[in-house]
A and B are shown apart, each in its own frame.
Chain A
């Protein structure tokens, strides 16, 4: 897409990646964008770049506004390659001797990505930079979501360039929140659940800091997706809410199956939960992507995992999901395990171990049955679902 002016003299010069469907293991069903921002002033500033394979598009976008050598300062808010990948190509044209502003960890991490003799200017937290009309302030936001992550705030226009925070993997012809429908919040939520969830305590700290210093925000420009201009407070409020990790009365039942036995159990547990009037979402691991599952896990009270026993162990997709979920450190959950097995039946105990490691409080030791569930077992599954549903209703979530 062509660059667009977001405020007089301030341009989105980034690119749209319409076709990406797998972003390092996160399913991006609507593609994404890599946003970069050009601020024209006495000193011209570029904030962030794009993925390496889109370098030419970024350069063309900038060129349609000013020649690259007219850029005086480049700022890297985040070193991950979707935002730094085009730095070598850009710096080459801007001039390798131009200052490259980043955080202290940004300097370290960029040096570990690219073997270049760039003129790093590691900023102190809250350091300011005057570019003529404008003053930029750098806010340290370590671990949101990398050690190098920082925000750049344009004081006069009250624009926050927030790197990955407040972003969404969402490609469209539109630029702003008021041009897209409410569904954008679902993309923002998925982003939070899959990228930021584990840093929720830091999100809370940051939001408190922002309130305490009374930072006014007219516009939030993240590095992915649309820009929040109509109501930047909406996404800030959502982040506040999400970072509290208060579950809703909902169960997610995640399972895989080999000969439909664990699946049949799943169906009856789901029915049992539904019988108590509790929301329940069954997710088959070979039908649902782990990043979509995580979005549901994120605000659910109960995580129910069903696995067949394969060669004395967990079914591989279950291990995949658990590894992924564990890293994102979901809080305030209850857990339950179930599964059908042939002869040894280790899976349920293995899931229980994982629940314990994740500090997810278990309903009990789970439900395991040999081979194909009969009527009696299926009644047991329904009762199990009812028990879980009642527990969810009881918990003051």
Chain B
């Protein structure tokens, strides 16, 4: 599964780790994260994320 980077603050979403603090279980692919989710570091919306090269 691909990692995604927040284009605002550089936070990397790693599907292996998920974002348990915000109810995203480990193993959740980026595309399966609900739309209301925000970057846990800077608060940017999901559409600010780009696939890590």
Chain A residues within 8 Å of B, Cβ to Cβ = 105, 140, 142-143, 147, 199, 201-202
- Residues on B with beta carbons closer than 8 Å to the beta carbon of A201: 41
- State the CA gap A140–B10 with chains docked (Å): 10
- Residues on B with beta carbons closer than 8 Å to the beta carbon of A105: 8
Q: How far is the CB of B16 from the nearest CB of chain A, in Å? A: 18
Q: A142-B9, A143-B10, A147-B42 are in contact. List 11 more A-B contacts (CB 8 A).
A: A105-B8, A140-B10, A142-B10, A143-B9, A143-B41, A143-B42, A147-B8, A147-B9, A199-B41, A201-B41, A202-B41
A-B contact pairs, 6 of them (CB 8 A): A142-B10, A143-B9, A147-B8, A147-B9, A147-B42, A202-B41
- State the CA gap A372–B9 with chains docked (Å): 50
- Residues on A with beta carbons closer than 8 Å to the beta carbon of B42: 143, 147
Interface string of B8-34 (1 = CB under 8 A from A): 111000000000000000000000000
Sorted nearest first, the 5 A-B pairs with minimum C-beta distance are A143-B9, A142-B10, A147-B8, A142-B9, A147-B9
In this complex, how many residues of chain B approach chain A with their Cβ under 8 Å: the count is 5
- Residues on A with beta carbons closer than 8 Å to the beta carbon of B8: 105, 147
Q: How far is the CB of B53 from the nearest CB of chain A, in Å? A: 15
- State the CA gap A143–B9 with chains docked (Å): 6
- Residues on A with beta carbons closer than 8 Å to the beta carbon of B41: 143, 199, 201-202
Q: How far is the CB of B7 from the nearest CB of chain A, in Å? A: 9
Q: How far is the CB of A71 from the nearest CB of chain B, in Å? A: 30
SS of B interface (majority): loop
- Residues on A with beta carbons closer than 8 Å to the beta carbon of B9: 142-143, 147
- Those of B25-53 within 8 Å (CB) of chain A: 41-42
- State the CA gap A199–B10 with chains docked (Å): 13
Residue of B nearest to A359 (CB): B21
- State the CA gap A114–B10 with chains docked (Å): 24
- Residues on B with beta carbons closer than 8 Å to the beta carbon of A199: 41
- State the CA gap A105–B6 with chains docked (Å): 12
- State the CA gap A202–B6 with chains docked (Å): 14
- State the CA gap A274–B2 with chains docked (Å): 54
Residue of B nearest to A105 (CB): B8
- State the CA gap A115–B41 with chains docked (Å): 29
Q: How far is the CB of B50 from the nearest CB of chain A, in Å? A: 13
Q: How far is the CB of A144 from the nearest CB of chain B, in Å? A: 10
Residue of A nearest to B10 (CB): A142
- State the CA gap A201–B9 with chains docked (Å): 13
- Residues on B with beta carbons closer than 8 Å to the beta carbon of A147: 8-9, 42
- State the CA gap A143–B8 with chains docked (Å): 9
- State the CA gap A105–B41 with chains docked (Å): 15
- Residues on B with beta carbons closer than 8 Å to the beta carbon of A143: 9-10, 41-42
- State the CA gap A121–B19 with chains docked (Å): 35
Residue of A nearest to B21 (CB): A359
Residue of B nearest to A144 (CB): B9
Residue of B nearest to A125 (CB): B10
Residue of A nearest to B42 (CB): A143
- Residues on B with beta carbons closer than 8 Å to the beta carbon of A202: 41
- State the CA gap A366–B2 with chains docked (Å): 46
- Residues on B with beta carbons closer than 8 Å to the beta carbon of A140: 10
Q: How far is the CB of B19 from the nearest CB of chain A, in Å? A: 13
Q: How far is the CB of B20 from the nearest CB of chain A, in Å? A: 12
- State the CA gap A143–B42 with chains docked (Å): 7
Q: How far is the CB of B45 from the nearest CB of chain A, in Å? A: 14
- State the CA gap A201–B40 with chains docked (Å): 11
- State the CA gap A105–B9 with chains docked (Å): 9
Q: How far is the CB of B24 from the nearest CB of chain A, in Å? A: 16
- State the CA gap A143–B43 with chains docked (Å): 11
- State the CA gap A201–B42 with chains docked (Å): 12
Q: How far is the CB of A156 from the nearest CB of chain B, in Å? A: 29
- State the CA gap A125–B24 with chains docked (Å): 30
- Residues on A with beta carbons closer than 8 Å to the beta carbon of B10: 140, 142-143
- State the CA gap A202–B41 with chains docked (Å): 9
- State the CA gap A142–B39 with chains docked (Å): 14
- State the CA gap A202–B40 with chains docked (Å): 12
